[in-house]
Structure 1
Amino acid sequence: MPAAGLALAGEEQSEAVIRAHARCLIQRMRDAVRERAAKNIRS
């Protein structure tokens, strides 16, 4: 979502969007860490 869209959205709404993005990023990081750990165990 573009920054302009966030600025136009209600504050509560944009906060929810940011939180959803953060959750997605954290999930991706966790998956990456898990993948790396699995590779280390295999090698």
Structure 2
Amino acid sequence: MNDNLNELELLLDPWWDTVTEWVDSAIDTVVDTVSSAYEAAKD
């Protein structure tokens, strides 16, 4: 059972890294967009 779990982790690790990177950049994009819109609305 444990061996299967380790193999699964090896498979998921690169995928998880990709997902977290994607989420990070998506959040950055949203924050940038919102703050730009806020600055534009404020002026």
Task: Give unpaired runs (5+ residues) of structure 1.
Answer: 1-9
Report the RMSD for the aligned CA atoms in angstroms.
0.8
- Across the two proteins, how many residue pairs are aligned to each other? 34
| TM-score of the superposed pair, with normalisation by structure 1 | 0.72
Identical positions, percent: 3
- Deviations for 1:2-39, whole angstroms, at most 9, x for unmatched residues? xxxxxxxx331100000000000000000000000001
Q: Identify which of structures 1 and 2 has the higher relative contact order when contacts are C-alpha pairs closer than 8 Å and 6+ apart.
A: 1
